[in-house]
Structure formats: C-alpha cells, structure tokens
Amino acid sequence: MSYTFELHTTASAQICVTIDGNMTMKQVTDIFFCEIEKKTVFQREEILDIFVQIAHCNETLSIPCSNTLVKDFIPMNRKFFPYSADNKNTYHLHAIDRMYRERIDCKIDPQTTVCKNREIKTSHMGEFIQRTRKIIPFW
C-alpha cells in the first residue's frame, strides 16, 4: 500500500511525496529531507522539525526517525492521520525551518512588549500640582 504526503514548507508550494508502506520512518524522513533540499532553498540542517498537526486543537506529532514501518505508524497514530473518503491515504505534513522559528520568536519576545500603566486615577489634583512645580521651580 502506498501513502501520499503533502509536505508544506514556508519557502514554496506543497511537495507531494508518495511512500511505500513497507518503508521505515527513517527512510521516509530521509526522503522528505532530500525532497526539501531539491525543491526549496533549505538545507537539511535548517529544517527543525517535520510534523503533522490537528488543526482544531493544535496538537502536533513529530515524524520520528525510527525503524517503525509506515504501515504500522499510520494506524498507531490514527488521530493525526484520519481516514478520508476524498483523498485515500493522503496526509498533510508541515516542515518548520530555522528562519521561520526566529521570526516567531521575535514576535513573541517578552522584552519587546510594552506594558501599559493601568493605574486608576482618582484625583487629578496631584498631577496638576506636579506640573505646576515643574513650571514654577521655586515653589
């Protein structure tokens, strides 16, 4: 039995890879990396992870580099590889690269976020006095 994986990267359109079910997951990950190197600007070292995601609950599963056969791995993780009447044995994978990860880290960096002063002012008289003292230095 063959399985088709649509590999989505940040650099290009999806990469379709058809795999035989009797291959090991290690062989499959090697094929994924070779296809990424051929069809994108990324090298093997730049890819941090290849994973499958359940969109509605944000759960992810990394594709392991193990000796488990593909035909055994898919049924063991049926939650991530559901049956589909439309596209039989076609699954979507994602590859995250180093550059994309750095962009995400910059957006979430806690040092760059600005905290607003949420102090509730009950009287504006104190602020008025402070401004007056700055204008009239001898008071």
Phi/psi for 30 (5° steps) reads: -65, -40
| Confidence label for 103 from pLDDT (cuts 50, 70 and 90) | low
State the Cα–Cα distance between residues 65 and 51, nearest whole angstrom. Answer: 12
Q: What is the pTM of this model?
A: 0.67
In this prediction, residue 114 carries a pLDDT of 54
Are the CB atoms for 44 and 35 separated by under 8 Å? no
The pLDDT-based confidence of 58 (bands split at 50, 70, 90) is confident
The fold of 2-108 is Ubiquitin-like (UB roll) (3.10.20)
Cα–Cα distance, 26 to 48 (Å, whole number) = 16
The predicted-structure confidence for 113-124, as pLDDT tens digits, reads as follows: 555 555 656 666
According to the model, what pLDDT value does residue 11 have?
77
- The CB-based long-range contact list for 80-87 (8 Å cut-off, 24+ gap) reads 80/52, 80/53, 80/54, 81/52, 87/4
Residue 71, pLDDT > 70, answer: yes
